[in-house]
Amino acid sequence: MDSGKKVEIVERYVSAYNARDIDTILSLYREDATMEDPYGTPPVSGKEALAALYQEGFDMGVVLALDGRPRCAGNAVAFPLLGTTEQGKLFIIDLFEFDADGRIERMRAYWGPESVEGEMEL
Amino acid sequence: MDSGKKVEIVERYVSAYNARDIDTILSLYREDATMEDPYGTPPVSGKEALAALYQEGFDMGVVLALDGRPRCAGNAVAFPLLGTTEQGKLFIIDLFEFDADGRIERMRAYWGPESVEGEMEL
């Protein structure tokens, strides 16, 4: 998969997130994709479960922005993100792995309690 | 594994890399660790093979610097790096997964041709 295509998906993902456009977000995923957010918690699968997880961030008022250049390799793209709310900041690295059709089949978000600045409650 | 410990290992790794201190770098890894640099290429395993891969970067004169905050999650840490040579820059995200003893058991580096600025030949 072309790197330009991957970066385009990352950019669509971030704008769709900020527009609370869950349909666009889900359209980037395979039906049976898994999401580990944060990595280390049990993987969530299925569009309803993914939608519920995104809704939690929307309810907190999280706004995402790229916090560095996306890095493409193999079937994957890794990219630093900054999540901001009125209460604080969260520093994240997301990792998408794509299937042969260019859909995200595995999403992992790397962040932990020490990735928070301010009073954000996660 | 404690996040502070992971970040300390990342910092030791970057300084050891820049000091060309291969013994310290290898001491952070398990004996049977695998390294995918870049991710998508066949994993390399064994201290000799890892040393050879690091030597390639040393021979190119690569100097590493953190390019953002390390993000800890589960048994892992993901961190953005900037590799610089006289010829150019390389934007990388490294991902370390640790075993129960705090040694790196799987290392993946995310970067591709479009992660290069300048004339660096990889």
pLDDT of residue B12: 98
Tell if the CB–CB gap between A113 and B3 is shorter than 8 Å: yes
Which residue, B39, B79, B102, is CA-closest to A111?
B79
Question: What whole-number distance in Å separates Cα of residue B102 and Cα of residue B41?
Answer: 25
- Predicted confidence (pLDDT) at residue A122 exceeds the cutoff of 80: no
pLDDT of residue B100: 97
Percent of chain B at pLDDT > 70 equals 100
* E runs forming strands in B37-110: 44-45, 63-66, 71-73, 76-84, 88-98, 104-110
Residue with tokens 């390639």: B56
Alpha helices in chain B (DSSP H): 3-18, 22-27, 47-59
Question: What whole-number distance in Å separates Cα of residue B24 and Cα of residue B33?
Answer: 15
Lowest-confidence pick of A12-16, A116-120, B42-46: A116-120
Average pLDDT over residues B109-118: 95
Average pLDDT over residues B75-101: 97
Minimum CA–CA partner of A77 in chain B? B110
CATH of domain B3-113: 3.10.450.50
Question: What whole-number distance in Å separates Cα of residue B116 and Cα of residue B89?
Answer: 6
Minimum CA–CA partner of B77 in chain A? A110
Could you tell me whether strands A29-36 and B71-73 are parallel, antiparallel, or unpaired per DSSP bridges? Answer: unpaired
Per the prediction, chain A carries an average pLDDT of: 96
| C-alpha distances out from residue B81 to A72, A103, B87, Å | 14, 27, 17
Q: Tell me the per-residue pLDDT of B13-67, one tens digit each, with 9 for 90 and over.
A: 999 999 999 999 999 999 999 999 999 999 999 999 999 999 999 999 999 999 9
- Predicted confidence (pLDDT) at residue A120 exceeds the cutoff of 90: no
Under the banding of pLDDT at 50, 70 and 90, the label for residue A62 is very high
Say if B42 is an interface residue toward chain A (CB within 8 Å): no
Average pLDDT over residues A41-53: 97
- Predicted confidence (pLDDT) at residue B121 exceeds the cutoff of 80: no
> Which of B37, B72, B81 to substitute to test the interface with A, most A CBs within 10 Å?
B72
Q: Is A13 a catalytic residue?
A: yes
pTM, rounded to two decimals? 0.96
pLDDT of residue B120: 79
- Predicted confidence (pLDDT) at residue A119 exceeds the cutoff of 90: no
